[in-house]
Chains A and B, each alone.
Chain A
Amino acid sequence: DTAVSQTPKYLVTQMGNDKSIKCEQNLGHDTMYWYKQDSKKFLKIMFSYNNKELIINETVPNRFSPKSPDKAHLNLHINSLELGDSAVYFCASSQDMSGYGYTFGSGTRLTVV
């Protein structure tokens, strides 16, 4: 009954590869987000989607492409992975764009070698 679930939990891959992280929420929320937590534990928003539409892209490289097939899913595809992409990626959702009911997933730890 996980509210916001991400897969996989861990991902180890080589530089240059392309990988995807999936996120699903069963809360009926309209708005979903991707956050990145770097090696120093600093958390920063990457993207926000509302009802499948991209709302914000916080100066994230073009190699990162979010996709929202429906409002319950927000996937993150990363092309040509670099060492600096190693981080923990958190998906989150909220009831609407006001942010009510903000809920985070458990994170995906991506390691690029």
Chain B
Amino acid sequence: AQSVTQPDIHITVSEGASLELRCNYSYGATPYLFWYVQSPGQGLQLLLKYFSGDTLVQGIKGFEAEFKRSQSSFNLRKPSVHWSDAAEYFCAVGVVTGFQKLVFGTGTRLLVSP
């Protein structure tokens, strides 16, 4: 069955430091991969997505992610974290079985310390 694992429930990063959020997926076919961010009390905002092509994907707000097929990973990175980046981050894989549904990981809460 398809699944997404985000091994870190929460991460604390100092403002200005670099960030990497881990995501591993299990899916038999070529995956469509997504990262979403959810601020407290807010909806889901798409940060970036990978469908095909270049395995390094650039997104909004200075985020990027790298698809590594050999490791079944799609880790999210940002070189310098801002206090406004504190939020919940969700990795998802798009599963196409006649239609596409998103299978989400359990999320990683990012805390930013001064």
A residues apposed to B, CB below 8 Å: 31, 33, 35, 40-45, 48, 50, 55-56, 58, 90, 94, 97-99, 102-107
CB pair A106–B102 under 8 Å, yes or no, is: no
Report A-chain residues with C-beta under 8 Å of the C-beta of B104. 42-44
The B interface is mostly helix, strand or loop, or mixed, namely strand
CB distance from B82 to the nearest CB of A (A): 22
29 A-B pairs whose Cβ atoms sit less than 8 Å apart in the complex? A35-B102, A41-B88, A42-B104, A42-B106, A42-B107, A43-B92, A43-B102, A43-B104, A44-B104, A45-B103, A48-B99, A55-B98, A56-B99, A97-B98, A97-B100, A98-B100, A99-B32, A99-B99, A99-B102, A102-B34, A102-B94, A103-B46, A104-B36, A104-B45, A104-B46, A105-B43, A106-B42, A107-B42, A107-B44
Given contacts A31-B99, A44-B104, A99-B32, 14 further A-B contacts (CB under 8 A): A41-B38, A41-B88, A41-B107, A43-B104, A48-B101, A55-B98, A55-B99, A56-B99, A56-B101, A58-B101, A97-B99, A99-B101, A102-B34, A104-B36
